[in-house]
Amino acid sequence: MSLELRRRIFEQLDSLVLIDPHTHIDALNPAATTLADILGYHYYTELAHSAGMAKGQIDEPELDPREKVRRLIERMGPLDNTIQYSWFIEMCREFFGFEGDRITLDNWETLYDQAAEKMRAPDWAAQVLAKSKLEAVFLTNDFDDPLEDFDTRVYVPCLRTDDLVFHLAKPEVQARLADATGVDVTNADTLRYAVAGLFQHFKDKDAKACAISLPPDFAPQKVSDARADTAIADLYSQQQDASASQKRAAANFLFWTITEYCAEFGLPFDLMIGVNRNVYPGGVYQGMDLYDSRVSLIQYRELFNAFPQVTFPVSVLASVTNQELVSYAWIFPNVITNGHWWYSNTPAYIEHDLSARLEAVPRTKQIGYYSDMYKLEFALPKFAMYKRLLAKTLAERFVIDRGWSEEQAVLLGTQILRGNVETVFNCGPQTTDASDQ
Amino acid sequence: MSLELRRRIFEQLDSLVLIDPHTHIDALNPAATTLADILGYHYYTELAHSAGMAKGQIDEPELDPREKVRRLIERMGPLDNTIQYSWFIEMCREFFGFEGDRITLDNWETLYDQAAEKMRAPDWAAQVLAKSKLEAVFLTNDFDDPLEDFDTRVYVPCLRTDDLVFHLAKPEVQARLADATGVDVTNADTLRYAVAGLFQHFKDKDAKACAISLPPDFAPQKVSDARADTAIADLYSQQQDASASQKRAAANFLFWTITEYCAEFGLPFDLMIGVNRNVYPGGVYQGMDLYDSRVSLIQYRELFNAFPQVTFPVSVLASVTNQELVSYAWIFPNVITNGHWWYSNTPAYIEHDLSARLEAVPRTKQIGYYSDMYKLEFALPKFAMYKRLLAKTLAERFVIDRGWSEEQAVLLGTQILRGNVETVFNCGPQTTDASDQ
Amino acid sequence: MSLELRRRIFEQLDSLVLIDPHTHIDALNPAATTLADILGYHYYTELAHSAGMAKGQIDEPELDPREKVRRLIERMGPLDNTIQYSWFIEMCREFFGFEGDRITLDNWETLYDQAAEKMRAPDWAAQVLAKSKLEAVFLTNDFDDPLEDFDTRVYVPCLRTDDLVFHLAKPEVQARLADATGVDVTNADTLRYAVAGLFQHFKDKDAKACAISLPPDFAPQKVSDARADTAIADLYSQQQDASASQKRAAANFLFWTITEYCAEFGLPFDLMIGVNRNVYPGGVYQGMDLYDSRVSLIQYRELFNAFPQVTFPVSVLASVTNQELVSYAWIFPNVITNGHWWYSNTPAYIEHDLSARLEAVPRTKQIGYYSDMYKLEFALPKFAMYKRLLAKTLAERFVIDRGWSEEQAVLLGTQILRGNVETVFNCGPQTTDASDQ
């Protein structure tokens, strides 16, 4: 009975047209051109490497896409238990007509060719969006992205600020900032002015959010302009040789300044909390980052209090931080729970974390899911995984345990999946199409 | 089959008469007089505020109770997914004849009047206790509470010691202590003498426990009398201007002294570990506290070893600390698991934490639940939630997974719910009524 | 349907012949001689003590085994909810023909005699192994164990290194090292030479692993030989009076050196992370250790990067560390998830932790379970508990939630239970019996 109920709720949730509020899609190359773009995703390369495949086999320069796929398929047996592998299979079944449940050296080549054939269609990206029932996807744009030549109603710009906050000491970041803004940064005032220019540019291009990923030891603090002046001067003169203390002061100044502009420009600020970069430098591309789960949202106490007018959709990397997220979203009006990030984006953690959110955070303050994808083909299986878990949770914990009607449960799921994305990020038909009504 | 089993076990657990071992009931005003006393509970005001309701709308001085309820009902839509909302609905159905599953601007007024009518009955508190199958509730009394004019067999005094331990630097606390004890505190000896007076007073009034809530960074340590003398002198001369170090020394001295008197007077010491006060100062009344989940019971190592004769019923604020609590209760004879506190008092966390306790802590060392309520009407829905989860856990993990009989499962549940409250706190018929037998 | 499915998967998993990759078995006395050897296991004595039994009743010197069992049986009522108690009952049913579900003062004596009778059989250990479907068990050998007079194909040596790393300041450890190796340790070079001798001895005796348990605050670092020289000289001259800093430097040197020899001798290095020793000194034998769950695998970053050629099967004491373990095993090729240790070896934590591993760590990199037992009789009920949970997880999360076939699920379970033990530890028929083929 419970399985049938789950299936019915899933089907209703699966019929919704969605907006994906966080991806790494390149708006100019949103879809894959061969399966190498799919299996080249770090989720597969890092697992294959972890299971014993040499990095050099994966990262080899100028490697032919077909050969890259053959090599990876050959090494995927040890991964076929993972949920990541299941995304690949579901994608191949839904998009490329694959009918089995394992892709091996015996059947990969036909699939490769069928996929390449499909991907050659000029409207492939649109096909993928349509089949995935996606109306729009948020991007993750470098601060100096020109944001040109794409439809910002489908590919929604989002200002990513990691480089500014954590890497301003790098000469190339300083150069990119100068190029993008025309500002000669020398102190707090000029840096603030440059950041304002970035926000104006993104806002002019219909950006709907600002975003940043943060290491576990970051605890944002307001610093004075005088302190910032010193730090900025030092970063521009010493660059990477600037001391850790100066870098930290500059990071704090920039983070706080960016938040101020989020307030001024009316943009939510996505905080993705908890990642340590480059923990395994010998790993494959994008497969080097890990974390220290000893992080607390108490580190953001001053920030959340200082900016009641800024909405903070918060993602946490470790499931052990999820209860704090639930509690902070339950108390602070400006804290929103946001998706299931990276190492917590697997069924056991999603179920545990989702259950806790659904029963204690106001239903208007939960963004259910984002795909975090690099190629459009991933939204379908990732969202399908989430919708199955959402259906399971609604069936078991609301309909069965709490006596909700199926209809009420579906409405809650719908709000988490779609409605809140519109209201939190001020996007979707009721806002962008307001002039049509 | 499993649902039917759960239902049967629930019904047996639900037939028990219980003692609620931790509440914030005012013995002189134990029940609500209007629904404003119910919806004014911080669980609703903080969630409504979190979902966007202005603090001023909630906290407005001299606000008419009916208007307060109207305003809150208007803003409860975003909360109707929460377990807290379900408590409200269940209470209204059980006590006030409400029959729907949502209370809105369309139906609230009749309910308000029906509730007010019921609450006007002179024996309303007794009716609530009877319908809730509660025989007694523990209070949370200020150290200077006269403890007069109520029946201590129904409203059981409990000495709350937060003010003494953490706020002795405040002039008003010093004054209250002087008034309550008649002792002129100047040093360790006189402070110890004053505390002894408080214990004697509480013991004379049938107190059954001492309690305190503790911040995550507290790690109790014994300090010498000489060190305490200096600290106390400083707190009494400098008051709030005393240094953090002096305040910490005084807190340690007081905490240790209180524990010594728990030993001397035979009272369990409820430790409620992990809360940071006033994290969100802009929040509504009682909706400002949060926590840092990076706390460990290793901080209490010295204490648990120093006082083998004192029973410590321990509550932890974060579910991630529950495994430590399980392990410490499994090893230390004087550590007892105690209820599911505040941010961990939601179904997903209760299930996870309860399962772990039931299978690894001796059955005699678990206090299943307390309501933490401010008004008597809350015990029924809160205990009902817990009993459903307890029934589910016993059904799935003991009867189904481990082959227990239904009867054995009910006996375990009964002990957790009722029997251990009697033995741990030395209360209930077998002790207080011993002379009748 | 799900229960039937679980049962079928369990039966298939339960038919497997296994190797237990971590135990504390004494190869010269592997099985119990009376039930006192069973109930003397710290899991029972510490729980009985925690539930109120005086330490002196348990630890009394020269206590007759029958009287010891009688005393413990008398105090086991409060423990009959625990999973540990269920191991005892299952063992008594499977090995000694017991037919009830509680052992009390009314029925213990017959059981005691029946067990003693069975245990007197000269081939009792072999009978237990056969009935438990165990082909071999790994030992935990002191570094100076002669490793003589037993069959290393059944009792597989494993070099335990806690004493060397953390207790070299003790005169008796220095003496044992000198006796075992004949080396006069004076500095880094001679200590390294002594350690090499230990590895050679263990390797000659077919050791398959090196192992160590680590406190939560340990963060391995490479230290220079010069620094090590100073530290070692100090430990040998000052012994226990050596400073904490010298002891730490020596511990780091030894830990790093041992890892180097793991690389050289091709042995996996089992890391058991998170235990604080002697937290409750008043506890019973082996019932004094607890932990601080605030530990992170980021502390092992330098180690995992420095030794790509060493396999690290990692156990974590607290379930809150399991997600980090999953993530580190997902990224680092040399990190393997290893069993469910001690305070996390209870069903609720196993289920949560196992689910997360099965869906995100390559199937080749998971060691499902080890018994950690001191007497052979414990493997059967402990593995049975694990296999039931594994069957439940495979049934619910793979067959039902993900549409796997029952056969695929059983194959995954088989690999976790048996196959990976062979490949990770280079043991089992395909390696040790290679010459027969």
Residue with tokens 């007497």: C375
Residue with tokens 């793979």: C398
Residues A148 and A204: beta-carbon distance below 8 Å: no
Q: Which residues pair with B337 in a beta bridge?
A: B314, B366
> Counting Cβ atoms within 10 Å, is residue A167 exposed (0-12), middle (13-18) or buried (19+)?
middle
pLDDT over 90 (residue B320): yes
What would the two tokens of residue B38 be?
A: 């119910």
% of chain C at pLDDT higher than 70: 98
The pLDDT tens digits for C360-385 are 999 999 999 999 999 999 999 999 99
Q: Which residues lie closer than 8 Å to C396 by C-beta, 6 or more apart?
A: C2, C6
Q: Give residue C366's pLDDT.
A: 98
Residues A261 and A195: beta-carbon distance below 8 Å: yes
Residues in A closer than 8 angstroms to B52, CB to CB, are 333, 364
Say how far apart CA B409 and CA B394 lie, in whole Å. 6
> Between chains, do C49 and B356 touch, taking CB under 8 Å as contact?
no
Of A78, A346, A348, the CB nearest to C352: A348
pLDDT over 80 (residue C302): yes
- Smallest CA-to-CA distance from B218 within B140, B275, B286 is with B275
Of B52, B319, B348, the CB nearest to A333: B52
User: Is C82 part of the contact surface with chain B (CB cutoff 8 Å)?
Assistant: yes
Taking the CA of residue A294 and the nearest CA in chain B, the distance in Å comes to 7
Taking the CA of residue C107 and the nearest CA in chain A, the distance in Å comes to 41
Residue C383 identity (one-letter amino acid): F
Residues B379 and B137: beta-carbon distance below 8 Å: yes
Taking the CA of residue C245 and the nearest CA in chain B, the distance in Å comes to 22
Say how far apart CA A236 and CA A254 lie, in whole Å. 14
Provide the residue-wise pLDDT of chain A in tens; the chain has 437 residues: 689 999 999 999 999 999 999 999 999 999 999 999 999 999 999 999 999 999 999 999 999 999 999 999 999 999 999 999 999 999 999 999 999 999 999 999 999 999 999 999 999 999 999 999 999 999 999 999 999 999 999 999 999 999 999 999 999 999 999 999 999 999 999 999 999 999 999 999 999 999 999 999 999 999 999 999 999 999 999 999 999 999 999 999 999 999 999 999 999 999 999 999 999 999 999 999 999 999 999 999 999 999 999 999 999 999 999 999 999 999 999 999 999 999 999 999 999 999 999 999 999 999 999 999 999 999 999 999 999 999 999 999 999 999 999 999 999 999 999 999 999 999 976 444 433 33
Q: Give residue B16's pLDDT.
A: 98
How many beta-carbon pairs below 8 A join chains A and C?
A: 106
- Please give the sequence-ordered ranges of beta strands (E in DSSP) within B217-338, or none if there are none: 269-273, 275-276, 290-291, 312-316, 335-338
Domains in chain A, start-ordered, CATH in brackets? 1-32+122-138+370-437 (no CATH), 34-119 (1.10.2020.10)
Taking the CA of residue A184 and the nearest CA in chain C, the distance in Å comes to 39
User: Is C43 part of the contact surface with chain B (CB cutoff 8 Å)?
Assistant: no
Indicate which of B79, B85, B293 best probes the interface with A, i.e. most A CBs within 10 Å of its own CB.
B293
User: Is A79 part of the contact surface with chain C (CB cutoff 8 Å)?
Assistant: yes
- Smallest CA-to-CA distance from B432 within B210, B154, B18 is with B154
Q: Which residues lie closer than 8 Å to A150 by C-beta, 6 or more apart?
A: A27, A28
> Between chains, do C318 and B301 touch, taking CB under 8 Å as contact?
no
Of A47, A319, A348, the CB nearest to C362: A47
Residue A290 phi, psi dihedral angles, 5° rounding: -140, -150
pLDDT over 80 (residue B435): no
- Helix, strand and coil in chain B, % to nearest 5: 55, 10, 35
Indicate which of B2, B50, B87 best probes the interface with A, i.e. most A CBs within 10 Å of its own CB.
B50
Taking the CA of residue B237 and the nearest CA in chain C, the distance in Å comes to 39
Residues in A closer than 8 angstroms to C298, CB to CB, are 276, 279, 290-292
- Smallest CA-to-CA distance from C265 within C197, C333, C313 is with C197
Q: Give residue B134's pLDDT.
A: 98
By C-alpha distance, the chain B residue nearest C295 is: B294
The pLDDT tens digits for B220-269 are 999 999 999 999 999 999 999 999 999 999 999 999 999 999 999 999 99
Q: Is A220 left (phi over 0), alpha (psi -120 to 50) or beta?
A: beta
Residues C191 and C251: beta-carbon distance below 8 Å: no
The pLDDT tens digits for C132-151 are 999 999 999 999 999 999 99
By C-alpha distance, the chain C residue nearest B400 is: C3
Q: Distance between alpha carbon B172 and the CA centroid of its chain, in Å? A: 25
pLDDT over 80 (residue B361): yes
Chains that touch C (3 or more CB pairs under 8 A): A, B
> Between chains, do B84 and A360 touch, taking CB under 8 Å as contact?
yes
What would the two tokens of residue C68 be?
A: 């010891």
Quick one: which H or E segment has residue B137?
Answer: strand B134-138
pLDDT band of B428, cuts 50, 70, 90: confident
Of C294, C403, C412, the CB nearest to A81: C412
User: Is B346 part of the contact surface with chain A (CB cutoff 8 Å)?
Assistant: yes
Average pLDDT (B277-297) is 97
pLDDT over 90 (residue B386): yes
Say how far apart CA B355 and CA B337 lie, in whole Å. 12
What would the two tokens of residue A182 be?
A: 């025309």
> Between chains, do A332 and B81 touch, taking CB under 8 Å as contact?
no
Chains that touch A (3 or more CB pairs under 8 A): B, C
ipTM of this complex: 0.97
Q: Is B147 left (phi over 0), alpha (psi -120 to 50) or beta?
A: left
Q: Give residue A286's pLDDT.
A: 96
User: Is C286 part of the contact surface with chain B (CB cutoff 8 Å)?
Assistant: no
CA distances in angstroms from A12 to A7, A401, A413, B175, listed in the order given: 9, 20, 9, 64
Of B281, B292, B392, the CB nearest to A296: B292
User: Is C3 part of the contact surface with chain B (CB cutoff 8 Å)?
Assistant: yes
> Between chains, do B355 and C348 touch, taking CB under 8 Å as contact?
yes
Residues B176 and B141: beta-carbon distance below 8 Å: no
By C-alpha distance, the chain C residue nearest B402 is: C86
Indicate which of A5, A81, A279, A286 best probes the interface with C, i.e. most C CBs within 10 Å of its own CB.
A81
Residues in B closer than 8 angstroms to A363, CB to CB, are 78-81
Residues B346 and A356: beta-carbon distance below 8 Å: yes
Of A301, A323, A362, the CB nearest to B47: A362
Of C46, C49, C292, the CB nearest to B296: C292
Of B49, B294, B346, the CB nearest to A294: B294
Indicate which of A217, A303, A331, A414 best probes the interface with B, i.e. most B CBs within 10 Å of its own CB.
A331
Chains that touch B (3 or more CB pairs under 8 A): A, C
Quick one: which H or E segment has residue C400?
Answer: none
Residue with tokens 């290194």: C161
Taking the CA of residue A286 and the nearest CA in chain C, the distance in Å comes to 10
pLDDT band of B32, cuts 50, 70, 90: very high
Quick one: which H or E segment has residue A195?
Answer: helix A188-204
Residues in B closer than 8 angstroms to C47, CB to CB, are 330, 362
Residues in B closer than 8 angstroms to C84, CB to CB, are 360
Q: Which residues lie closer than 8 Å to B324 by C-beta, 6 or more apart?
A: B296, B297, B298, B316, C290, C291, C292, C293, C318
By C-alpha distance, the chain C residue nearest B293 is: C294
How many beta-carbon pairs below 8 A join chains B and C?
A: 106
Taking the CA of residue B94 and the nearest CA in chain C, the distance in Å comes to 33
Taking the CA of residue C135 and the nearest CA in chain B, the distance in Å comes to 27
> Between chains, do C327 and A290 touch, taking CB under 8 Å as contact?
yes
The pLDDT tens digits for A286-312 are 999 999 999 999 999 999 999 999 999
Give the total residue count for chain C.
437
> Between chains, do C331 and A283 touch, taking CB under 8 Å as contact?
yes
Residue C209 phi, psi dihedral angles, 5° rounding: -160, 160
Q: Give residue B145's pLDDT.
A: 98
Indicate which of B290, B355, B385, B390 best probes the interface with A, i.e. most A CBs within 10 Å of its own CB.
B290
Say how far apart CA B433 and CA B429 lie, in whole Å. 5
Q: Give residue A434's pLDDT.
A: 38
Of A52, A79, A343, the CB nearest to C327: A343
Q: Give residue C435's pLDDT.
A: 39
- Smallest CA-to-CA distance from A70 within A127, A108, A24 is with A108
Q: In a 3-state reduction of DSSP, which class is residue C135?
A: strand
Taking the CA of residue C222 and the nearest CA in chain A, the distance in Å comes to 17
The pLDDT tens digits for B10-23 are 999 999 999 999 99
